[in-house]
């Protein structure tokens, strides 16, 4: 299957590239420019030309001083026409010579004389009395080492200056020995360098911090940040480049305010959960809409190769996302992939090798000695609690323990092994101590390989980008792995002056193998079983008389499944164990049959048609397909009594998107307006088939159905269809980029609703004000930019668990009989969930671009939430779905970026972001009810804990004390204990339930640094969360008295042992009286969810250009990177960022997050 798929992919790529590159050989000098500028400096316009065309621009900096600002609206305007327009009223003229634009003064004839043209790469010192030294040098980017063409080199305090050439070189004559050079370029921090008599001065310019001149990819187009009224965060490639990431959302952890990334599974290839500005729905989806290169993306996000991504834009409010209407209630994640640029072909080759291991240590557990003494005490305590004498308890505890656990690794009888105080004989030896590391038996140091090659380039009319990637990642659990083969190709071509077309192909095949986790039972779950088996139980069979390994006829060790074993001659009998009997995961993990194969193809094509000046029609079409097959099963194990099983599922997803967009832009004076109107049609189809077999015929890893004799589950299949039809419009206006406003509207119809309720209207309005452009701010010199903006709007959510929620549902084959029975009532009035968003922000750049950031307030109100409301018993139906209930998420986001130091050799940048979030249910159609460890009630958050209130341990007897519920229950005097005027009880069944805080953190965010020194660069980033609580179910399991003979936490060494002991760990027993002494679900297990995580550290070195030039290499970077490198939490074993309901999934049941340490090399040719 893999070869067939790869052949199809390669064939698609070849056809695609041939079609896209047909025009490459026929290019002429008709490069086009797109620019909307008002009062923009000519230097900035020239920089735009260089960026869009790749042409070098040569000019004398002195001549640029007298030029006028430029105002122009150009949409795909031919280069020569563009130059004619911008230089029509300038003292300079431009000529194009072989991809080079040369500027010179226009000839001015006065009294029969003329002024000769001044050469572009020469500075005349006609007005100087003395010619001084000549300075030469090169200007490059501090971040990439790439030359910066058209950078300005000026002698401070004079008009003497020059521009660098295409290679970043410059030559400046007549410079005094004590002069100071000012070197600057658009988008970079200016640099002042003292000459000090030198004749060679090279400079490295650092990128400016994010300013409001940035152009962002937003809904159905681009926008300039300075006049954008919405809330959007842009994550550039620099943030995630050279990191060993499998999928894109991992790059958002701690880097994007308002975005939370939950890591619930460390399985390679698993996708984290993403939330933007909180939880927007109770029963519908909370996942954001994903847009890939302008089109909705419904395939697995793990199929996207991170190396192909140029940037990520997160749309967080209604003003930014309302144009996506029906599916934008939870925000939008826009992924923008790379494309080619004008110039010679560029080849980039990257290789990354990494090692994976468990990120943080597991819970601390008892040694085998402490384990045996603990359980001896448990038997002693249980005997006394059940009425036995202390003397009898001390005498009998050892024998009862050995009989209970079924194994004796010390090969001593009870009387010899324990003294009367339960202390282990100091001469006792655990004869299979080297064979009890169950968790170690399923773990390994995984290896990760990631290889990517891309080719890109372009001519005056066509650009192209193509890439091929292969990644193979092993997890730290044996048998868990993920591999992906990906290919991408796109091409864009200016067919005529009025028509531009392009295509974009993304395709991948991924395969995952892993272990069954929290969805499986306790015995089949390897994460739980291997961590909870006591360390006195061996992995392999041992002779109970000698402790030696028992070997098979081939001399191999025999795995111990805990089900009991007897030798063929009957001389050796092993009784087995009660806990996790029938499992031996260090053995079974090598024959895992649990994984999936996914093949995805996404193809997009577009045409831009210039109808009139400023008026453009864009037609987009896209198709996507996702072919998926999953499998799981188990082979025959004689000891285990397993007959073998195999289950397989297949599904196929197809999507179609068609868009027609009409854009119009107009400038008049200092006014600018652009208008968008469009239509979008989206269709989704899903097909599913599953079945399973049992009773394997031939033992082994052949899990095809032909190797099984019985049907385990009848075949099941179904098809889902979903469609959205939408009409959209947007208007943006600004006056001199000082005052600006926007409005958008979308009308959507969804097939999920009845025809009378399926249309929804979504809209937004926004406004902004650039205060820094006001005259009253001119004297406030520390303010470079200051912008205020606000917006309000609505977006919708129809992503419900079912595709036909308004219809009555009839279930077939009820109770095994042929026929149909109605299982739910229909509701024709069921419609969209609606999110109403208000946003207000201040954005700023201060202290000569040294500090930039924003402070933003948001209020997201969800209404019309879907709930199942109980119906009268007489209806025969339990519930009906209705639109009722509301909830809000409000908070503040703060972003700060600082450029602390900028010199020729050094650069230091710091960043910080914080989000304060409050979530609250404001109305519900139901009475308050308890859902697991939470209570659902208006006035509280979606995840407020509702638990028994635990006080501590009674120092008199070691029992747990809980606050007594005096209103619900009656108590005898013996059941109550008064402490500081509050009544407590040992009877957990009569304890008081109370609200116990929320699982949602009060604040989340990240901080980091970017430090550069010469060719070295060090980056690190942290994620943190503060406030909120975590229900530590994993810790509870290791402290629980009812799980007999499991591993135990070291905290049990602090247990209560005798009257008067002051401790928070209760008396330990072997499970008897557990109702009274086990804290069960209570505040006992709540801990702070505060955490600090080093999400990435990256050290890179860029090889010197002089070294690379001799080897025909343009750029080379070697680097070391570590992801999820370090964690600080309340206790070892705790990972608070696991999921969004904070600990309801116990930590003992899942694949823990991993650390990946990697080395990489990136070469550019």
What pLDDT, on a 0 to 100 scale, did the predictor assign at position 132?
66
What pLDDT, on a 0 to 100 scale, did the predictor assign at position 130?
33
In CATH, what class is 31-108+116-122? alpha beta
- Asked if 469 and 452 count as a contact pair (C-beta separation under 8 A), the reply is yes
User: Is pLDDT of 179 > 90?
Assistant: no
What pLDDT, on a 0 to 100 scale, did the predictor assign at position 1079?
60
Q: Angle at CA 962, nearest 5°, toward 961 and 965?
A: 140
Burial of 576 (0-12, 13-18, 19+ CB in 10 A): middle
Cα(852)–Cα(207) distance, integer angstroms: 13
CB atoms within 10 A of CB 464: 24
pLDDT in tens, 146-161: 888 778 888 887 767 7
Domain residue spans in the chain? 31-108+116-122, 368-438+519-590, 613-633+647-737
Residue 448: CB partners within 8 Å, gap ≥ 6? 244, 352, 353, 354, 355, 356, 471, 472, 473, 474, 1156, 1158
Please give, one letter per residue, the 3-state secondary structure of 624-691: EEEEEEEEEEECCECCCCECCEEEEEEEEEEEEEEEEEEEEEEEECCEEEEEEEEEEEEEEEEEEEEE
User: Is pLDDT of 321 > 90?
Assistant: no
| Average of per-residue pLDDT across 515-538 | 74
Closest CA to 530 of 614, 462, 438: 438
Beta bridge partners of 679: 660, 727
User: Is pLDDT of 402 > 60?
Assistant: yes
What pLDDT, on a 0 to 100 scale, did the predictor assign at position 1040?
82
Neighbouring C-alpha atoms within 13 Å toward the C-beta of 760 = 32
User: Is pLDDT of 40 > 80?
Assistant: no
pLDDT in tens, 878-928: 788 899 999 999 999 999 999 988 888 889 999 999 999 999 999 999 999
pLDDT in tens, 344-385: 899 999 999 999 999 888 999 999 999 999 999 999 998 998
The full length of the chain comes to: 1165
Lowest mean pLDDT among 15-24, 215-224, 661-670: 15-24
Lowest mean pLDDT among 210-219, 408-417, 1018-1027: 210-219
What pLDDT, on a 0 to 100 scale, did the predictor assign at position 35?
82
Cα(211)–Cα(222) distance, integer angstroms: 16
| Average of per-residue pLDDT across 475-496 | 94
Q: What is the chain's mean pLDDT, rounded?
A: 85
Lowest mean pLDDT among 178-187, 337-346, 459-468, 476-485: 178-187
- The residue that leads in pLDDT, 849 or 10, is 849
- The residue that leads in pLDDT, 697 or 251, is 251
Q: Biggest alpha carbon distance in the chain?
A: 128
Q: Angle at CA 1043, nearest 5°, toward 1037 and 1044?
A: 140
| Average of per-residue pLDDT across 721-744 | 94
Cα(1157)–Cα(357) distance, integer angstroms: 9
* E-strand stretches of 517-585: 565-566, 573-574
What pLDDT, on a 0 to 100 scale, did the predictor assign at position 635?
65
What pLDDT, on a 0 to 100 scale, did the predictor assign at position 922?
96
Helices 42-53 and 79-86 pack at an angle, to 10 degrees, of 180
Tell me how far CA of residue 214 lies from CA of 15, 209, 233, 234, 425, in angstroms: 36, 10, 11, 10, 73
Please give, one letter per residue, the 3-state secondary structure of 112-142: CEECCCCCCCCCCCCCCCCCCEEEEEEEEEC
Residue 1111: CB partners within 8 Å, gap ≥ 6? none
pLDDT in tens, 41-72: 787 788 788 778 777 776 665 566 678 778 78
Closest CA to 1091 of 1002, 1154, 1018: 1002
User: Is pLDDT of 824 > 80?
Assistant: no
Closest CA to 797 of 334, 279, 297, 299: 279
Helices (H) and strands (E) in the chain, counts: 14, 61
| Average of per-residue pLDDT across 504-520 | 80
Cα(304)–Cα(243) distance, integer angstroms: 15
pLDDT in tens, 565-618: 888 888 888 888 888 888 888 988 887 678 899 999 999 999 999 999 889 999
Cα(62)–Cα(51) distance, integer angstroms: 22
Lowest mean pLDDT among 17-26, 34-43, 614-623, 1155-1164: 17-26
Please, which pLDDT band fits residue 514 given cuts at 50, 70 and 90?
confident
| Average of per-residue pLDDT across 1073-1081 | 61
User: Is pLDDT of 408 > 70?
Assistant: yes
**What radius of gyration, in Å, describes the C-alpha atoms of the chain?**
35
User: Is pLDDT of 1033 > 90?
Assistant: no
What pLDDT, on a 0 to 100 scale, did the predictor assign at position 1145?
44
Tell me what percent of the residues of the chain surpass a pLDDT of 70. 88
- The residue that leads in pLDDT, 611 or 238, is 611
User: Is pLDDT of 1095 > 90?
Assistant: yes
- The residue that leads in pLDDT, 325 or 98, is 325
User: Is pLDDT of 1153 > 50?
Assistant: yes
pTM score, whole prediction: 0.81
- Asked if 155 and 181 count as a contact pair (C-beta separation under 8 A), the reply is yes
Beta bridge partners of 447: 355
What pLDDT, on a 0 to 100 scale, did the predictor assign at position 142?
78
- The residue that leads in pLDDT, 108 or 1134, is 1134
User: Is pLDDT of 9 > 70?
Assistant: no
Closest CA to 1043 of 1067, 1074, 1065, 1064: 1074
Beta bridge partners of 311: 236, 336
First to last CA, the chain: 35
């Amino acid at each position: 299957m893999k070869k067939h798929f790869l052949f199809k992919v390669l064939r698609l790529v070849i056809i695609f590239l041939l079609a896209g590159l047909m025009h490459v050989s026929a290019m002429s000098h008709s490069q086009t420019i797109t620019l909307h500028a008002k009062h923009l400096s000519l230097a900035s316009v020239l920089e735009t030309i260089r960026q869009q065309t790749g042409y070098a621009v040569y000019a004398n900096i002195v001549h640029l001083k007298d030029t006028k600002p430029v105002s122009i609206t150009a949409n795909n305007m031919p280069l020569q026409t563009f130059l004619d327009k911008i230089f029509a009223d300038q003292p300079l003229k431009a000529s194009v010579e072989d991809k080079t634009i040369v500027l010179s003064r226009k000839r001015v004839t006065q009294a029969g004389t003329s002024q000769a043209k001044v050469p572009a790469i020469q500075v005349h010192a006609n007005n100087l009395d003395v010619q001084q030294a000549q300075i030469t040098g090169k200007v490059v980017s501090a971040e990439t080492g790439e030359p910066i063409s058209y950078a300005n080199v000026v002698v401070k305090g004079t008009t003497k200056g020059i521009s660098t050439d295409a290679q970043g070189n410059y030559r400046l004559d007549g410079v005094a020995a004590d002069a100071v050079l000012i070197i600057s370029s658009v988008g970079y921090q200016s640099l002042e360098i003292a000459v000090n008599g030198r004749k060679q001065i090279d400079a490295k310019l650092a990128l400016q911090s994010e300013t409001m001149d940035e152009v962002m990819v937003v809904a159905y187009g681009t926008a300039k940040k300075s006049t954008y009224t919405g809330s959007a965060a842009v994550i550039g490639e620099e943030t995630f480049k050279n990191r060993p990431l499998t999928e894109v959302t991992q790059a958002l952890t701690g880097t994007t305010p308002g975005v939370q990334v939950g890591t619930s599974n460390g399985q390679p290839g698993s996708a984290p959960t993403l939330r933007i500005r909180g939880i927007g729905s109770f029963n519908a989806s909370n996942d954001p809409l994903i847009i890939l290169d302008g089109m909705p993306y419904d395939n697995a996000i793990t199929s996207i190769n991170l190396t192909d991504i140029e940037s990520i834009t997160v749309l967080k409010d209604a003003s930014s996302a309302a144009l996506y209407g029906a599916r934008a209630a939870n925000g939008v994640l826009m992924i923008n992939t790379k494309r080619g640029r004008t110039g010679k072909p560029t080849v980039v080759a990257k290789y990354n090798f990494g090692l994976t291991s468990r990120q943080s240590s597991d819970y601390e557990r008892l040694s085998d000695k402490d384990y045996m003494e603990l359980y001896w005490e448990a038997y002693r305590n249980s005997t006394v609690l059940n009425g036995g004498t202390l003397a009898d308890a001390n005498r009998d505890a050892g024998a009862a323990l050995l009989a209970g656990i079924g194994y004796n690794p010390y090969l001593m009888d009870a009387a010899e092994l324990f003294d009367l105080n339960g202390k282990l004989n100091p001469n006792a030896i655990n004869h299979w101590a080297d064979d009890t590391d169950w968790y170690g038996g399923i773990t390994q140091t995984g290896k990760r390989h990631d290889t990517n090659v891309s080719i890109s380039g372009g001519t005056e009319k066509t650009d192209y980008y193509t890439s091929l990637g292969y990644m193979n990642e092993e997890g730290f659990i044996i048998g868990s792995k993920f591999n992906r083969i990906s290919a991408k190709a796109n091409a864009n071509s200016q067919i005529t002056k009025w028509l531009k077309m392009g295509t974009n192909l993304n395709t991948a095949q991924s395969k995952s193998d892993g272990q069954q986790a929290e969805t499986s039972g306790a015995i089949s779950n390897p994460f739980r079983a291997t961590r909870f088996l006591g360390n006195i139980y061996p992995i392999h069979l041992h002779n109970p008389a000698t402790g030696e390994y028992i070997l098979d006829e081939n001399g191999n060790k025999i795995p111990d499944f805990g089900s009991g074993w007897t030798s063929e001659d009957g001389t050796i009998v092993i009784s087995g164990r009660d806990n996790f009997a029938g499992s031996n995961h260090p053995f079974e993990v090598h024959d895992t049959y649990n994984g999936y194969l996914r093949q995805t193809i996404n193809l997009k094509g577009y045409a831009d048609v210039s109808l009139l000046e400023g008026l453009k029609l864009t037609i987009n079409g896209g198709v996507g397909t996702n072919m998926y097959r999953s499998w799981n099963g188990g082979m025959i194990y004689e000891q285990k009594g397993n007959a073998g099983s195999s289950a397989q599922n297949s599904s196929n997803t197809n999507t179609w998107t068609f868009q027609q967009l009409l854009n119009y832009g107009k400038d008049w004076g200092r006014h600018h307006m652009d208008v968008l109107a469009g239509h979008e049609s989206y269709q989704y189809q899903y097909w599913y088939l599953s079945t399973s077999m049992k009773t394997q015929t031939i033992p082994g890893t052949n899990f095809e159905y032909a190797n099984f004799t019985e049907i385990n589950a009848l075949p099941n299949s179904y098809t889902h269809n979903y469609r959205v039809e939408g009409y959209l419009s947007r208007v943006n206006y600004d006056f001199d980029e000082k005052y600006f406003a926007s409005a958008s509207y979308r009308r959507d119809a969804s097939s999920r609703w009845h025809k009378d309720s399926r249309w929804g209207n979504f809209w937004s309005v926004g406004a902004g004000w650039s205060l820094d452009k006001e005259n009253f701010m001119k004297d406030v010199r520390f303010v470079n930019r200051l912008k205020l903006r606000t917006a309000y709007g609505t977006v919708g959510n129809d992503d419900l668990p079912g595709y036909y929620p308004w219809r009555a549902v009839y279930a077939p084959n009820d109770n095994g009989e042929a026929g149909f029975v109605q299982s739910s009532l229909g509701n024709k009035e069921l419609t969209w969930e609606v999110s109403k968003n208000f946003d207000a922000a201040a954005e700023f750049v201060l202290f000569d671009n040294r500090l930039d950031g924003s402070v933003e307030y948001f209020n997201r109100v969800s209404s019309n939430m879907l709930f199942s409301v109980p119906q009268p018993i007489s209806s025969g139906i339990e519930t009906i779905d209705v639109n009722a209930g509301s909830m809000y998420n409000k908070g503040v986001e703060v972003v700060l970026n600082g450029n602390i130091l900028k010199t020729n050799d050094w650069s230091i940048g710091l960043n910080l972001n914080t989000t304060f979030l409050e979530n609250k249910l404001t109305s519900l159609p139901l009475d308050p009810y308890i859902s697991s460890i939470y209570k659902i009630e208006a006035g509280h958050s979606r995840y407020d804990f509702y638990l028994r209130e635990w006080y501590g341990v009674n120092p008199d007897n070691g029992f747990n004390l809980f606050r007594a519920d005096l209103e619900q229950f009656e108590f005898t005097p013996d059941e109550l204990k008064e402490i500081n005027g509050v009544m407590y009880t040992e009877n957990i069944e009569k304890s008081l339930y109370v609200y116990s805080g929320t699982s949602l953190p009060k604040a989340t965010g990240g901080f980091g640094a970017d430090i550069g020194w010469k060719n070295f660069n060090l980056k690190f980033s942290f994620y943190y969360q503060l406030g909120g609580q975590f229900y530590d179910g994993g810790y509870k399991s290791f402290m629980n008295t009812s799980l007999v003979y499991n591993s135990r936490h070291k905290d049990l060494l602090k247990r209560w042992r005798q009257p008067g002991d002051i401790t928070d760990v209760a008396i330990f027993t072997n499970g008897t009286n557990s109702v009274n002494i086990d804290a069960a679900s209570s505040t006992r297990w709540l801990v702070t969810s505060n955490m600090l995580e080093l999400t990435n550290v990256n050290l890179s070195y860029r090889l010197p250009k002089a070294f690379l030039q001799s080897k025909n290499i343009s750029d080379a970077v070697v680097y070391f990177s570590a992801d999820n490198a370090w964690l600080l939490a309340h206790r070892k074993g705790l990972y608070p960022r696991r999921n969004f309901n904070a600990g309801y999934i116990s930590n003992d049941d899942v694949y823990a997050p991993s650390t990946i340490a990697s080395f990489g090399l990136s070469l550019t040719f």
